[in-house]
Amino acid sequence: MAQGEVLEFEEYVRTRQDALLRSARRLVPDPVDAQDLLQTALARTYGRWETIEDKRLADAYLRRVMINTRTEWWRARKLEEVPTEQLPDARSTTPPSSTRTAPC
């Protein structure tokens, strides 16, 4: 990427970061996850910045990247859940109240 395009991307991020973070906050409830989502979307967009011909549409492009990234994260989390025939035992780490010793 040419130096002029790098500076253009940096200027874009500086001027639009608050609005982009608000968009990310609408997609994920956790503020830290929203920051991660925006950073991931910015990193992905940086690599494609020179292919965006009309820079006025950069916000829409970045929002689409954020939506796609959030969907990827959701699918990855969903795949971590494994259905089983039986539910696991719900064992408590604290003893039942009947086995506790009463204070003297």
Per-residue pLDDT of the chain (104 residues; tens, 9 = 90+): 778 788 999 999 999 999 999 999 999 999 999 999 999 999 999 999 999 999 999 999 999 999 999 999 888 876 666 677 887 777 766 665 555 555 55
Look at the pTM and tell me if it is higher than 0.75.
Answer: no
Helix axes 31-48, 58-80, angle to 10 degrees: 120
**Cα-atom radius of gyration of the chain, to the nearest Å?**
23
The per-residue pLDDT for 96 is: 58
The per-residue pLDDT for 75 is: 83
Round to whole Å and give the CA distance between 20 and 11.
Answer: 14
